[in-house]
Amino acid sequence: MKSASLATEYHSDRQADDDHELASTCKALGHPVRIRILQFLKRVDRCICGEIVETLPLAQSTVSQHLKILKEVGLVIGEIEGPRTCYCLDKEKLTRLKKLIAGL
């Protein structure tokens, strides 16, 4: 059961979904360390977690948390390769973000 609220008066459900997607993606980008991680991944294309940890003045567990957040919104993909995890950007998701931002 879904009631129309004042808040959706001017917005289709489709639009509301976009709003939430954009907000949650931006929230994930709302920390300088996570921006750095994205830029690093763009430069190196793909790398294992340990390399990312080396570039940052943070504990391994903290970096792993940031990577988890980026994974949850789909900006980053992590593939398990034996004992390690290989990370890379999801370029499609990044493109979609750019499109949503450009529409503001």
Query: 82 — alpha (psi -120 to 50), left (phi > 0) or beta?
Result: left
Strand-strand pairing, 76-81 and 84-89: antiparallel
Q: What mask of x and - would describe binding to a second copy in positions 13 to 32, judged by CB under 8 A?
A: ---x--xx-xxx-xxxxxxx
Q: Which of 64, 77, 90, 100 is close enough to bind DNA by CB under 7 A? A: 64
Alpha-carbon distance 31 to 22, whole Å?
Answer: 15
* Main-chain phi, psi angles of 86, to 5 degrees: -100, 125
Whichever of 68 and 99 has its CB closer to DNA, that residue is 68
Point out which residues bind a second copy (CB under 8 A). Answer: 5-7, 9-11, 16, 19-20, 22-24, 26-32, 34-36, 38-40, 42-43, 54-57, 94, 97-98, 101-102, 104
